Amino acid sequence: MKVTVVGAGAVGASCAEYIAIKNFASEVVLLDIKEGYAEGKAMDLMQCASLNGFDTKITGTTGDYSKTTNSDICVITSGIPRKPGMTREELIGINAGIVKTVSSSLIEYSPNTVMIVVSNPMDTMTYLVHKTTDLPKNKIIGMGGALDSARFKYRLAEALDAPISDVDGMVIGGHSDTGMVPLTAHATRNSIKVSEFLSKERLEQVKEDTKVGGATLTKLLGTSAWYAPGAAVSGLVQAIACDQKKMFPCSTLLEGEYDLDDICIGVPVILGRNGIESIVNIELSAAEKTHMQQSAEGVRKTNDLLTL
Ligand SMILES: NC(=O)c1ccc[n+]([C@@H]2O[C@H](COP(=O)([O-])OP(=O)(O)OC[C@H]3O[C@@H](n4cnc5c(N)ncnc54)[C@H](O)[C@@H]3O)[C@@H](O)[C@H]2O)c1
Ligand SMILES: O=C(O)C[C@H](O)C(=O)O
């Protein structure tokens, strides 16, 4: 199993590290445009192998796509991250050009790959890959909901004063400060609805804290987060590589599902060897449906800025 990660920056390197530690891939190739950067990150990570007990071979390259040939899975993390006070949408001007060039170069050497898009604004970047490549829709996956759901579970556990392993919950919708739809009515602690334990007001606070999870970290760190993003990507990569048929909310092209068409946005999907094996339709409340439609309007506004 060969995995390529483009962008050896904070998220790309974290993702490569988690993939290696989980020890399911034979090879990870890191590619960056900064001279020597991917090679350096790969060497540093390989020097963790004997310490962390993994056999995954990590190599780095400065812009040589031939090294990525026949990758089963390609992850795109190349592009600029936001700074405090910015939205993810403001990154489109620089990141759209990068994602367009990188995705077509990857496909040239790995025409059968499954592609995971991470660069922001992620839903629009995923849509861009659909519009500008010939990859089938099941092989183009946007990562956002897996991370947002992890943050939702963190906030739920905090409110419940419970261990995170007791908590389950999911966030669908756009990966943006206003577009996320945390499904509070479906969230549980040991299969009991969290509304049994938390007031409406506290649950509303959990929802709002979850939606601004990325912005909160960006303010604290001066740049956006990387540990949980890297871990979330590695979870998707593992589900595909090991054909786990696990459910994650991912950005995928909708063609009528959730009453939406011609848009990439986060909904629950089953991930396996073919990428997106199926889209899971869940019954949403009237309020959740409205929030999902508003979220889609936001994503469409950003999509309209693309020059395709
Ligand atoms: N979808 C998500 O949930 C999520 C989570 C975290 C970050 N992100 C996004 O991921 C992206 C990367 O974030 P980061 O913190 O790793 O940034 P970073 O600056 O640390 O790393 C980005 C890397 O991309 C490289 N790069 C730029 N253009 C390239 C090109 N054409 N080819 C190859 N490499 C290129 C840069 O040299 C840099 O090393 C940002 O757009 C950020 O907003 C998304
Ligand atoms: O917040 C960001 O800009 C990065 C990423 O999308 C995140 O949610 O951490």
Q: 52: left (phi > 0), else alpha (psi -120 to 50), else beta?
A: alpha
Which of 142, 159, 176 lies at the terminal end of a domain, its last residue? 142
The kind and range of the H/E element at 101 are helix 92-109
Look-up of token digits 């077509």 = 104
Residue 197's domain is classified under what CATH number?
3.90.110.10
Annotated catalytic sites, by residue? Answer: 175
ipTM score of complex = 0.99
Which of 80, 112, 142 lies at the terminal end of a domain, its last residue? 142
Mean pLDDT of 286-294: 97
Residue nearest to atom 5 of ligand 2 (CA): 214
Q: Is pTM beyond 0.95 here?
A: yes
**Residue 152 in contact with residue 159, Cβ under 8 Å?**
no
Domain contains 308: no
User: What one-letter code names the amino acid at 5?
Assistant: V
Q: How many CA atoms lie within 13 A of 29 on its CB side?
A: 22
114 and 48, same domain (yes or no): yes
Domain contains 244: yes
List all residues 6 or more positions away from 250 whose beta carbon is below 8 Å from its beta carbon: 141, 142, 143, 144, 145, 146, 236, 266, 267, 269, 271, 276
133 and 156, same domain (yes or no): no
Mean pLDDT of 165-181: 98
Residue nearest to atom 41 of ligand 1 (CA): 119
The kind and range of the H/E element at 20 are helix 10-22
What is the domain range of residue 19?
2-142
pLDDT at 18: 98
Question: How far apart are the CA of 81 and the centre of ligand 2, in A?
Answer: 8
**Ligand lying nearest the CA atom of residue 81:** 1
Query: How many domains, the chain?
Result: 2
243 and 155, same domain (yes or no): yes
- The C-alpha atoms of residue 252 and residue 231 are separated, in whole angstroms, by 20
For a substitution probing ligand 2, which of 180, 216, 218, 223 has the most ligand atoms within 8 Å of its CB? 218
